[in-house]
Structure 1
Amino acid sequence: MKRNSIATALLTLGLVAGIAGPALAGQPSVVIAHGAFADGSDWAKVIGLLQDEGVHVQAVQNPLESLAGDVAVTTRAIDNQPGNVVLVGHSWGGMVITEAGDHPKVTNLVYVSAFAPDSGQSVEDLTRDHPAPPGSANISGDSHGWLSLSPQGVAQDFAQDVPEAQARVMAATQGPIKASAFGETVSTAAWRNKPSWFIVSEEDRMILPELQQMMARQISADITLLPTSHVPQQSRPADVASVIMEAVESAK
């Protein structure tokens, strides 16, 4: 797609913030719902790669206070896109996109090391019959009912395959989640009507890889296995971007 001279000049001067190039006409946008103990910046590496391909990307900033609240914020982001949307969810964000993905603009879903519930299921339901993941030992709550992951937990269980300095930043910028959110159920399962992709993190210590594979099979997803921690978007961004681009190409 040829850029006009004004857009080229603005991009050269760095006056168009956060945009690597113009989105391709007719191509779906990508909306990303981050997980617990994170925020939208957790996806910075993947966002840049998608922008380089001409994809318009919006990272949601989930409040993480309730499922309903995160679905509302994600739905607003979907509403604001110019056309169709590929909806991506990481970890807790899988709960969010399962419900928000029922939006008529959403064509495809991409789950990344995520929960993929059926209608009427919560995180507590999905995990009840499985062993506790190692990372759960480093989650603690405050007097207001919000859960956080300790710096040690981020380094050892959440992002054990990123540099130590990066893990420290991730711990400092994490988004705590309200404990009560894990008991909230989704009212609909968008994956029943929309094609899905699922990246399974084989060395995940936050959501057991066996549980991820079980959910991925249940939703009949196109499955990609990566030998990563819970955050492949940080340690293997090119691989994650490649899967998202498959969903984008499929949605055209």
Structure 2
Amino acid sequence: MKLSTLAASVVALSACLFGSTAAVAQDAQPASGPVKNIVLVHGAWVDGSGWKPVYEILTRDGYHVTMVQEPLTSLEADVDATKRVLDLQNGPTILVGHSYGGSIITEAGVHPNVVGLVYVAAHAPAVGEDEGTLGKGKPSFTAQQPGAIKKTADGYTYLTRADFPKDFAADLPLNQAKFEAQSQILTAAQVFTTPLTAAAWTSKPSWGIVAGDDKIINPDLERWYYARAKSHTTVIPGASHSVYESRPQQVAAVIEDAAKHAQK
């Protein structure tokens, strides 16, 4: 083979190999653009069915939405339940938590599928902190209401049936609030006092919703959490702790904003 022909062959082969390597490298890069997977995590005393209004909006808008049903027996068990659902996602995911669910997503959010966090009237402790201690610094209306929170002999908590509608769900229809009061999932007291071992908001973008008339978590505590985490914060005036049920359009809009911008 002539030297000129050999040189041309080497150049052509090198260009082919470079192109293939570049294509592989491009394929290996993280996906960008809107995220399509959303995982919703409920808080204490309730279950995942409360997310239905938000779920319906998000699925209508083309998102793949999954609810986690935590056992509410320990923070570790609830984080594990969330990670199982995250393992089933087929790509980048926005992880959303309400109330105590904020502590869960803070720890579970280190999962590699999670690219953004959304806190809905939620706690967001740091490593070594627990929401019970932080709540004492900015106590809620409910926390200062004697007898509102009861505990069973084996250490599970619930909100008194009479107080639930006005404390947890003041802006829901009364019949719905009464039903939720009667269908509470008793929650282990230890979940509120277990220190976190990870805090995903320190390394991943976050969004936060303040429920303006929240009686379960002090709205000022919610603001403090989100300011510390440098979250994109939305305040919904007049909303109760059940903001995800009473104002689903506004909550869904924040989640969709996170999905569109988390990877930018």
TM-score w.r.t. length of structure 1:
0.87
Q: Which runs of 5+ in 1 are unaligned?
A: 1-24
- Asked if the contact 1:136/1:206 (under 8 Å) is kept, the reply is no
| Number of the residue aligned with 1:237 | 248
**Equivalent of residue 75 in structure 1, options 57, 79, 83:** 83
- Asked if the contact 2:205/2:262 (under 8 Å) is kept, the reply is no
| Number of the residue aligned with 2:116 | 108
CA distance in 1 between partners of 2:69 and 2:204 (Å): 24
Instruction: Sort the Cα spacing of 1:26 and 1:155 in 2 relative to 1 into closer, same or farther, 3 A.
Output: closer
The answer to which of 108-117 and 139-148 deviates more is 139-148
Establish whether residue 117 from structure 1 lines up as the match of residue 128 from structure 2: no
Residue by residue over 1:76-115, the C-alpha shift from the partner in whole angstroms, topping out at 9 and shown as x without a partner, is 0000011111000000000000000001110000000000
CA distance in 1 between partners of 2:92 and 2:54 (Å): 20
**Equivalent of residue 126 in structure 1, options 134, 137, 141:** 134
Q: What amino acid sits opposite 1:214 in the alignment?
A: W
| Number of the residue aligned with 1:249 | 260
SS of corresponding position for 1:194: coil
Residue by residue over 1:109-156, the C-alpha shift from the partner in whole angstroms, topping out at 9 and shown as x without a partner, is 000000000111111221132234336631101111110112222211
| Number of the residue aligned with 1:8 | none
CA distance in 2 between partners of 1:164 and 1:144 (Å): 31
| Number of the residue aligned with 1:160 | 170
CA distance in 2 between partners of 1:221 and 1:48 (Å): 25
Q: What amino acid sits opposite 1:243 in the alignment?
A: V
Q: What amino acid sits opposite 1:233 in the alignment?
A: Y
Q: How does 1:118-197 map to 2 (within 5 A)?
A: 118-134=126-142, 137=145, 138-197=148-207
CA distance in 2 between partners of 1:56 and 1:154 (Å): 32
Q: How does 1:86-101 map to 2 (within 5 A)?
A: 86-101=94-109
Shift of residue 47, structure 1, vs aligned partner: 0.4
| Number of the residue aligned with 2:65 | 57
Shift of residue 27, structure 1, vs aligned partner: 3.7
Shift of residue 199, structure 1, vs aligned partner: 0.2
| Number of the residue aligned with 1:32 | 40
CA distance in 2 between partners of 1:135 and 1:161 (Å): 20
Larger radius of gyration: 2
Shift of residue 26, structure 1, vs aligned partner: 7.3
